[in-house]
Amino acid sequence: MELGLVGKPNVGKSTFFAAATQVPVQIANYPFTTIEANRGVAFVRKACPHKEIGRPCNPKNAPCESGTRLIPVELLDVAGLVPKAHEGRGLGNKFLDDLRQASALVHVIDATGGTDFEGNPVPPGTHDPVADVQFLEEELVHWIAGILSRNWEKEARRADLEEAPPEKIMSARLTGLGFTEMQVHAAVRDTALDPKMARWTSEDLFHLARTLQHRGKPMLLAANKADMVSREPLQNLSKAAGYLVVPTSAEYELALRRAASAGLITYQPGGSSFEVLHPEKLTAAQEKGLEKIRAFLRERGSTGIQQCIEEAVFKLLDL
């Protein structure tokens, strides 16, 4: 199982990735910090069945901690996407190729509206995050439609003559993109198409690609930098975007995990609080920073990073 972290440059994807996986990556406040895709392993939590069955727990791949099974999930942090990436702008072709095997997508957006389409800093509130959601969805659909449309007319005429099922033709064309036959079958069924494939227009293929994207690459939104915005913009984003939205602060999560690794605090990923172990070892800046994070956790319940991963696995993929 693989989750893809997607979004335009400079919104915090790599910080999210580093916080979730503890894999060291380059993090900087400028576009295209990430060029080569980063891969790491995060975990989702589930109650371990050993308590119910009354037997000792001895898992091989998913460790059990205090009755909670930690199930590994591969996380992929790809290069930032810019408009017209499907035409090769920015690092678009590489971005899209890296996503081929992702089962679901976590779209990391700048909830402050402080970065433009290219990832360049702008005054907070001057860019609409909903526009980022729309352009990324369009890029994914164009990518899938481009694969479907290659030499389409010739193959469609041959398939009609052989009376081949559309699902079979589509599945063959989408080999390598991670779509299952069931997803392809459902997408063809849900798209109003002519029984004869040779009559399908480029618009028909585009509509089919959109349905495939929703079914085969489901997506949720990580409204990042939520520590810098009020609740109202986040609520408006949730209403307007049409996707599940999880407010996140990747920077806070990364700080907590690093502090825990250094033995300064106790903290469980996804937790609503932490405990300082050695106050005397904290600098004034660290103490102030942890108090800001504590206030955020009291208000939001968590940094949202662990929640994003678990919502993607348990809700989007229904696993």
Q: What is the CATH number of the domain that holds 16?
A: 3.40.50.300
Tell which of 199, 216, 233 closes a domain: 216
Instruction: Return the pLDDT at 59.
Output: 64
Give domain status of residue 122, yes or no: no
Q: What proportion of the chain, given as a percentage, has pLDDT over 70?
A: 87
d(CA 115, CA 131): 12
Average pLDDT, the chain: 87
Same domain (yes/no): 226, 271? yes
Same domain (yes/no): 211, 241? no
Tell which of 169, 190, 216 closes a domain: 216
Same domain (yes/no): 198, 95? no
18 and 25 Cβ atoms separated by less than 8 Å? yes
Instruction: Return the pLDDT at 100.
Output: 83
Which of the four pLDDT bands, split at 50, 70 and 90, describes residue 52? low
Tokens of 214: 């929703």
Instruction: Return the pLDDT at 179.
Output: 87
Same domain (yes/no): 95, 235? yes
302 and 278 Cβ atoms separated by less than 8 Å? no
Give domain status of residue 272, yes or no: yes
* Global model pTM greater than 0.75: yes
Tell which of 198, 216, 234 closes a domain: 216
Same domain (yes/no): 113, 163? no
Which of the four pLDDT bands, split at 50, 70 and 90, describes residue 85? low
Quick check: helix, strand or coil at residue 14?
A: helix
| Confidence check: pLDDT of 176 > 90 | no
Same domain (yes/no): 157, 88? no
| Confidence check: pLDDT of 89 > 70 | no
Q: List the one residue out of 265, 250, 258 whose CA is nearest residue 75.
A: 250
Same domain (yes/no): 17, 112? yes
pLDDT in tens, 236-280: 888 887 899 999 999 999 999 999 999 999 999 999 999 999 899
Same domain (yes/no): 201, 297? no
CA gyration radius for the chain?
Answer: 22
pLDDT in tens, 133-150: 998 898 889 889 988 998
Same domain (yes/no): 80, 197? no
Give domain status of residue 30, yes or no: yes
Question: Greater confidence, 301 or 179?
Answer: 301
Give domain status of residue 147, yes or no: no
Name the residue type at position 310. E
| Distant-in-sequence, close-in-space partners of 66: CB < 8 Å, separation ≥ 6 | none
Same domain (yes/no): 134, 251? yes
Residue-range definition of the domain harbouring residue 191: 152-216
* Structural domain count, the chain: 2
Same domain (yes/no): 15, 163? no
Which of the four pLDDT bands, split at 50, 70 and 90, describes residue 174? confident
Instruction: Return the pLDDT at 232.
Output: 86
Same domain (yes/no): 297, 211? no
pLDDT in tens, 8-42: 888 999 899 999 998 755 544 544 444 577 889 99
Instruction: Return the pLDDT at 275.
Output: 96
Instruction: Return the pLDDT at 93.
Output: 60
Mean pLDDT across 71-80: 88
